[in-house]
Structure formats: C-alpha cells, structure tokens
C-alpha cells in the first residue's frame, strides 16, 4: 500500500484540460526511458484532445522541452 508510484490524472478545466503527474519527469527526461516515454505520451494525449489547437505551445516547442 505504501509503495512509491507515479500517478497521472487528467481533469477538464473550463474549456481545456489539465494533466498532473506525480513523477518528476523534468528531472529525468533524457536519462530515464520511462520518464521520456511518459512525457511523450502525455503530450500526445493532450495534443489529440478536442480543442487542442488552442494550446499556445507548438509541437516543436514540446519536443524541445523533452530534450
């Protein structure tokens, strides 16, 4: 019951969506494969959501953030 786990939650907020992850992705991007895959999958999910074209960050900026 008390094991450390990475949790991801997604909730609608106003006209958009918010995704929260308890895993410290930024600290491990590029060095830990699971962190890199999780970030990629989270970005893809949000980008595929209805209304995602309103998001200010472009695909190239998102990829650069993952490096």
DSSP class of 65? H
Nearest CA-CA partner of 65 in 49, 42, 11, 45: 42
39: exposed, middle or buried (Cβ count in 10 Å: 0-12, 13-18, 19+)? buried
Mean pLDDT, the chain, integer = 78
| Predicted pLDDT of residue 45 | 87
pTM: 0.60
- Give 62's pLDDT tier (boundaries 50, 70, 90): low
SS3 content of the chain, % helix, strand, coil (to 5): 45, 20, 35
| Predicted pLDDT of residue 66 | 60
pLDDT, one tens digit per residue, over 18-50 is: 888 888 888 888 899 988 898 899 888 888 877
């Amino acid at each position: 019951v008390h094991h450390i786990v990475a949790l991801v939650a997604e909730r609608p907020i106003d006209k958009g969506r918010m995704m929260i992850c308890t895993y410290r992705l930024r600290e491990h991007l590029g060095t830990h494969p699971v962190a890199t895959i999780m970030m990629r999958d989270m970005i893809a999910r949000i980008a595929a959501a209805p209304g995602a074209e309103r998001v200010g960050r472009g695909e190239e900026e998102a990829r650069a953030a993952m490096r």
